[in-house]
Amino acid sequence: MQTTGWLLPLLVVLLLSIIAFWVYYRRKQAGGLDAVLNEISYERLDALVVPNADEGEILVDHLLLTSQGLLILEIKDVQGVVFGGDKLKDWTVISDTRRYTFSNPQPGLLDRIAAVRHIVRDVPVSGRVLFPDVADFTKGKPDLVSTLAELRDEFSESDKNSVKFKIEAFKPHWELVRKLQA
């Protein structure tokens, strides 16, 4: 009976430690996302509705003004092994606790890129489906898919002053898009 007296407090401490680690990890992950987006973008618009080619509207989750043009991001917050491909209709995620599928995000991303290109015309527009670094593509990553580290490597600039003229050239086009949010 005396040995079980310390077991309950030990379990409580262990449980609290696990919860604290999980909260720390999620905050660090979210802070990492914001830090990278702030690092690679000069301005940012979130939840932007733009006209679509079929006279409808399409939602752009995140639009960033970068030194390379405009970047559309669709963020997929999944953890586990992701099985996806350019030509697959559905992608599958297998984690320790569950298995689920979601539609291939690439066709929708391409529609968003086309809609924004229609507005800005002469400015490069690209898009990425962003997965946190805890997603594992064991069979290889499909086109337009990036991790946070890859996004930083591809779009960050070591000398922000050297690309200032590009940003200024993109600004009038950025303002066309910004007006849609008002």
pLDDT at 2: 55
For the segment 67-116, what is each residue's pLDDT rounded down to a tens digit?
Answer: 999 999 999 988 899 999 999 999 999 988 899 999 999 999 999 999 99
| 65 CB burial (10 A radius; 0-12, 13-18, 19+) | buried
For the segment 17-46, what is each residue's pLDDT rounded down to a tens digit?
Answer: 787 666 655 555 545 888 999 999 999 999
* pTM of the model as a whole: 0.79
Neighbours of 43 (CB within 10 A): 15
**121-133: average pLDDT:** 91
Distance CA 27, CA 81 (A): 22
The residue with tokens 């559905």 is 90
The residue with tokens 């030509």 is 87
Least confident of 6-15, 55-64, 130-139: 6-15
Distance CA 60, CA 123 (A): 17
